[in-house]
Chain A
Amino acid sequence: QKEVEQNSGPLSVPEGAIASLNCTYSDRVSQSFFWYRQYSGKSPELIMSIYSNGDKEDGRFTAQLNKASQYVSLLIRDSQPSDSATYLCAVNRGDYKLSFGAGTTVTVRA
């Protein structure tokens, strides 16, 4: 079982719609969780961090965490063509070492 698993995608959504990305992790003791966005040919860029169960909103992005189910999600509301990228879920596996999922590629259709 991989440490971090994401829905494989690719995910295609029309402009203005909600994109929903899911991530599950295997280590029950993980305490901090991150979403990175990576444009093609570029480096990962942190867009959200979440530490507590529930929702965390930042602009058009909402991260959701459920530690009991070992599940993290990212919602992108009012999707824009500029949101087209690969989204990486990352889990802190101790001492700030991150394990990354394989990523979900999102395409927003104009």
Chain B
Amino acid sequence: DARVTQTPRHKVTEMGQEVTMRCQPILGHNTVFWYRQTMMQGLELLAYFRNRAPLDDSGMPKDRFSAEMPDATLATLKIQPSEPRDSAVYFCASGFGDIQYFGAGTRLSVL
């Protein structure tokens, strides 16, 4: 059963610390998306890649967030330094064409 795998599932950290979230997309999918979900803003697109190339990261706060895809099996989202307002659930999704499959998410709490 192919699925998008995200780690860690939960992360509690203190303000100012670096946070790294990882995503393994479904094998064969050429597009990877990072989303953030909060009660106030809903589900927002942060960044996405196609064939490992970054296409759009306009949804990310540039000064503290970075997204990379070092190889076809790994995408990363980093926050440095983290702030309490970054507390949210971060989802990775992968797809081929316009169908996207979501991972289980990383629930981040920044104290």
Interface of A with B (CB < 8 Å)? 32, 34, 42-46, 49, 88, 92, 95-103
Contacts and interface: CB of A to CB of B under 8 A. Distances in A.
A34 B104 CA distance: 19
Interface string B15-54: 0000000000000000100000000001101001000000
Nearest to A6: B42
Main secondary structure of the interface of B (DSSP, over half): strand
B91 A100 contact: no
Give the interface size bracket for B toward A. Answer: 10 to 19
Contacts of A100: 42-43
Interface string B69-95: 000000000000000000000010001
Interface of B: 31, 42-43, 45, 48, 55-56, 91, 95, 97-105
A96 to B, nearest CB: 5
Contacts of B43: 44, 88, 100
Contacts of B103: 43
A98 B45 contact: yes
B104 A42 contact: yes
A101 B102 contact: no
A97 B91 contact: no
A69 B103 CA distance: 33
